Structures are given as structure tokens and as C-alpha cells.
């Protein structure tokens, strides 16, 4: 967790849309071996998609480099969904995802959500372990996806 005191997390602005999209897509390419752009229409305009209707999209920087992303979307008045958690490969296992998740959970509590949900690919063992370590509980399987929840 070296240098994490220098990690700055902020809400996305239009200026950083392209950089955030690239970081997320690179992570998907690494995990899946390819990118199917048609499956991710929200990435065409991250700023617009995530900054309306009570949604939040955060980006993390170490100095001038974007190193992580994470989003909180509104499922309903009592449930928030964590999405688009991504950390650039050279910056993983340094506490960035933890800081991002902590901020998203804090915002979920401020917004009055009593439950946070998320999903990930069931083959992404590191992501599953991370969410379990943070108190998320298995909810159900859906195809190759695994769903978790956490009460706040």
C-alpha cells in the first residue's frame, strides 16, 4: 500500500471520460481476452450515463495517472449497485480498489441505501475474494455471473 496517501479519488468529469473507458476496457480485455464493445454501451459516454439520476462514477489518480474506477448506481430508493470497479494492472494489490470501494459504500450509506448489490464473473476469483473480504455475501448465480449483496 505504498504511496496510497497520494491516491486522489474524485467524481468523473467529461474531460476524463476517454481515459476511464480505456482503463475499464483494458481490464476487460485482460480478463476475457477480447472486447465486445456492443456489451458495454454505458462506456460510450460514462459521464452522461453515470452522473444523472443519483448515480456516481469515481476515478482514482496517483499523481497524473488514472489508476482506478468505480461506480454506484441507484437500483431503487433503498438499493445501490456497485459497478465498473477497475484498477490498472500495474497498480493492483496496493489498496486502490479498497479505497474506491470504501468511498462508494460511504456514499451508498449517505444516500440512504440499506442494501448494496454487485455482480462479477464467477471465474474472477480475485474479485470474488475481495468482495467477500469486504462483507459481501453470495446471493445467486446467473449464467457465468455471480451476484453478491451487503446490508448497510
- Report the distance separating Cα 118 and Cα 123, nearest Å: 15
pLDDT tens figures, 83-99:
999 999 999 999 999 99
Compute the average pLDDT of residues 41-65. Answer: 91
CA dihedral sign of residues 52, 57, 63, 66:
negative
pTM: predicted TM-score of the whole model, two decimal places: 0.93
4-111 architecture in CATH?
3-Layer(aba) Sandwich (3.40)
Short-list 50, 41, 110, CA closest to 83: 50
pLDDT tens figures, 98-124:
999 999 999 999 999 999 999 999 999
pLDDT at 72 over 80: yes
- Report the distance separating Cα 29 and Cα 7, nearest Å: 25
User: From residue 141, how far is each of 16, 86, 118, 134, 144 by CA, in Å?
Assistant: 34, 21, 12, 19, 7
Residue 3 — very low, low, confident or very high, per pLDDT cuts 50/70/90? Answer: low
Amino acid at each position: 500500500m505504498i504511496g496510497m496517501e497520494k491516491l486522489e479519488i474524485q467524481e468523473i468529469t467529461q474531460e476524463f471520460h476517454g481515459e476511464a473507458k480505456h482503463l475499464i476496457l483494458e481490464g476487460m480485455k485482460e480478463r476475457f481476452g477480447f472486447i465486445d464493445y456492443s456489451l458495454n454501451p454505458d462506456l460510450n459516454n460514462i459521464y452522461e450515463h453515470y452522473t444523472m439520476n443519483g448515480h456516481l462514477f469515481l476515478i482514482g489518480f496517483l499523481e497524473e495517472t488514472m489508476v482506478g474506477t468505480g461506480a454506484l448506481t441507484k437500483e431503487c430508493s433503498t438499493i445501490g449497485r456497485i459497478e465498473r470497479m477497475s484498477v490498472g494492472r500495474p497498480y493492483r494489490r496496493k489498496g486502490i480498489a479498497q479505497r474506491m470501494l470504501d468511498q462508494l459504500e460511504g456514499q451508498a450509506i449517505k444516500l440512504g441505501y440499506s442494501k448494496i448489490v454487485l455482480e462479477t464473473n464467477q471465474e474472477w476469483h480475485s474479485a470474488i475474494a475481495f468482495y467477500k473480504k469486504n462483507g459481501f455475501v453470495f446471493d445467486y448465480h446467473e449464467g457465468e455471473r455471480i451476484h453478491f449483496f451487503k446490508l448497510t
